[in-house]
Amino acid sequence: MRFVQIIEFEATEEQLAQGDALVEEYMKQTEGKRTAGRSTLLRDRTNPSKYYNVVEFASYEDAMRNNELPETQALSEGMMAISSGPPRFIDCDVVRERSQ
């Protein structure tokens, strides 16, 4: 069953730019190792300092394998160090998908 993790966090534009640099380095370091399939960054229209990173995986097990990568742990620590507060993680199993 496909799995999606939603990471809710708050950041300034400067913090977001720093985070983008960390993610770019992570992508280089984990080429061929990471199990995340797709990632979408969303900004809340009513609270522009709030973001949602939606990360898709083929399965929960793939997500856990990805989480165990040292590079993933380092990225998480780096992102927490530059964000405006602790992130909130929402773990979801994909029940249904439809194209409209």
Q: Say which residues have a Cβ less than 8 Å from residue 46's Cβ, sequence separation at least 6.
A: none
Q: Say which residues have a Cβ less than 8 Å from residue 2's Cβ, sequence separation at least 6.
A: 56, 57, 58, 59, 93, 94
Is the overall model pTM greater than 0.75, yes or no? yes
CA distance 96 to 51: 24
Instruction: Establish if 60 belongs to a structural domain.
Output: yes
Structure confidence by residue, pLDDT tens digits, 7-60: 999 999 999 999 999 999 999 999 999 999 999 999 999 999 999 999 999 999
Tell me the CATH number at 32: 3.30.70.100
Tokens at 61, concatenated: 């097990």
CA distance 70 to 66: 9
Q: How many domains is the chain partitioned into structurally?
A: 1
Residue 77: domain span: 3-93
